[in-house]
C-alpha cells in the first residue's frame, strides 16, 4: 500500500459533516494517535469535500494566537497538500506534522480552511478539532516508595606479587632465548654470497606468493636477493646504491649479465610505483634474477681462475 492510499484510507475513516457554512462542504479529520505526550510529534490529516468547481485553500502556517503562546501546538514544516480524485465534487487533503507542548485537550492551532465557489467564500473552522495531551510525570510521586540502599561494593585488595614474579620470569626467559639465538648464529660458519642467495631464492619460491595472489611481492623479493648478492660479491656496489648507481658502479657486471638493467627497472616500478604484474611475468622476473646471480657468479669465478693462473705462471 502506498503512502497516498494509506492517507486516503485514514481520511475516509475520519470523514464527518462539518458545521454549516455558506458553501456546503464536508470535513474529515484523522489523527495518528488520539492521545500523545508533551512534545511528541503526531500527524493530523484534514480532508475537505466541496462541490465541483470549488477551490480549497488549506492554511500553511499556525494562527496568530498559537504563534504567540510558547505552549501552544506547534506546526512542524509545511503541510503535504494533495488533490483526491472525486467524481462527485472537489476533494483535497492536507497532512500536518504537529507537536503539542501543554497537557489536556489541545487544538491544532490552525486557521480556517477557505473554500471559494462562484464568487462566494466559505470558511471551515478547525477550532473544535484537536488532540489530547497527557503528562509524562507520574500521577503521584509521593506514593512511590524508594528501594532500600544497596550494600556498598567491597573491592578486595589485589595481590600483584604472583603476577610480578610471572612477568619477571617471562622477561628472563625471553632474554635467555635471545642470548641463545645470538650464540647459535655466531657459532654458524659464514656462508658465501652465492650459497646464501640460492637459499633465499629457494625459500621465497617455497612460500608460493604467486599462487596466493602476490606476484608483485614475489618479483620484488627475488630482486632484493639479487641486489644483496651483488652488494656482497662486487666490491664497487654499495647497499644504498640506486639501480642507476649500481649499473654505473659495475659496468662489466652489467655487460656480463644481459637483462640486468631491464630487471632492475621493472622491479623498481613494482616496489615504488605500484606496478601490477601477471603471475607469469612475476615468475619470469624471479627466474631472471636467479639467472643473473648464476651468470655473475660464473663470470666472477672465471675471472678469479684466470687471475690465479696468471699469478701462478
Single out the residue of 51, 69, 60, 76 nearest to residue 113, CA to CA.
Answer: 60
Question: In the structure grid, which three cell numbers stand for residue 251, read together?
Answer: 659496468
Q: How far is CA 85 from CA 34, 62, 306, in A?
A: 27, 27, 106
Question: Rounded distance, CA 14 to CA 46, Å?
Answer: 9
For every residue of 47-78, DSSP letters joined together read: EEEE-TT-EEE---S--HHHHH-TTS-EE-S-
Question: Rounded distance, CA 24 to CA 227, Å?
Answer: 98
Give the per-residue pLDDT at 84. Answer: 87
pLDDT averaged over consecutive 10-residue blocks of the chain (313 residues)? 38 42 80 83 88 87 76 84 86 88 84 87 85 75 71 84 93 93 74 88 92 92 92 87 86 83 90 91 91 90 86 81
Run of H or E residues at 7: helix 3-13
| CB-based burial label for 309 (10 Å; 0-12, 13-18, 19+) | exposed
Q: What are the structural domains of the chain?
A: 3-135 (2.60.40), 193-312 (1.20.120)
Single out the residue of 161, 177, 226 nearest to residue 200, CA to CA.
Answer: 226
Q: 3-state class of 237 per DSSP?
A: coil
What pTM, to 2 d.p., does this model score? 0.40
Amino acid at each position: 500500500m502506498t503512502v497516498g492510499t494509506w492517507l486516503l484510507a485514514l481520511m475516509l475513516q475520519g470523514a464527518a459533516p462539518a458545521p454549516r457554512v455558506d458553501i456546503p462542504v464536508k470535513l474529515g479529520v484523522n489523527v495518528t494517535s488520539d492521545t500523545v505526550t508533551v512534545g511528541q510529534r503526531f500527524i493530523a490529516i484534514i480532508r475537505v469535500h466541496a462541490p465541483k468547481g470549488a477551490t480549497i485553500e488549506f492554511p500553511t502556517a499556525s494562527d496568530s494566537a498559537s504563534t504567540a503562546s510558547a505552549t501552544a501546538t506547534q506546526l512542524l514544516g509545511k503541510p503535504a497538500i494533495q488533490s483526491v480524485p472525486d467524481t462527485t465534487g472537489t476533494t483535497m487533503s492536507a497532512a500536518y506534522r504537529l507537536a503539542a507542548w501543554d497537557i489536556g485537550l489541545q487544538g491544532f492551532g490552525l486557521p480556517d480552511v477557505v473554500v471559494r465557489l462562484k464568487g462566494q467564500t466559505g470558511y471551515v473552522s478547525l477550532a473544535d478539532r484537536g488532540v489530547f495531551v497527557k503528562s509524562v510525570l507520574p500521577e503521584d510521586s509521593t506514593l512511590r516508595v524508594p528501594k532500600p540502599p544497596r550494600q556498598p561494593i567491597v573491592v578486595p585488595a589485589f595481590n600483584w606479587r604472583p603476577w610480578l614474579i610471572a612477568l619477571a620470569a617471562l622477561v628472563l626467559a625471553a632474554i635467555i632465548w635471545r642470548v641463545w639465538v645470538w650464540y647459535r648464529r655466531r657459532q654458524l660458519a659464514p656462508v658465501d654470497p652465492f650459497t646464501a642467495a640460492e637459499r633465499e631464492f629457494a625459500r621465497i619460491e617455497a612460500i608460493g606468493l604467486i599462487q596466493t595472489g602476490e606476484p608483485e611481492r614475489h618479483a620484488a623479493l627475488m630482486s632484493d636477493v639479487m641486489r644483496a648478492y651483488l652488494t656482497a660479491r662486487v666490491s664497487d656496489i654499495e647497499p644504498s646504491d640506486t639501480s642507476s648507481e649500481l649499473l654505473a658502479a659495475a659496468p662489466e657486471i652489467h655487460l656480463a649479465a644481459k637483462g640486468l638493467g631491464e630487471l632492475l627497472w621493472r622491479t623498481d616500478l613494482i616496489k615504488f610505483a605500484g606496478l601490477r604484474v601477471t603471475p607469469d611475468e612475476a615468475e619470469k622476473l624471479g627466474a631472471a634474477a636467479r639467472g643473473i646471480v648464476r651468470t655473475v657468479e660464473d663470470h666472477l669465478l672465471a675471472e678469479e681462475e684466470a687471475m690465479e693462473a696468471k699469478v701462478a705462471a
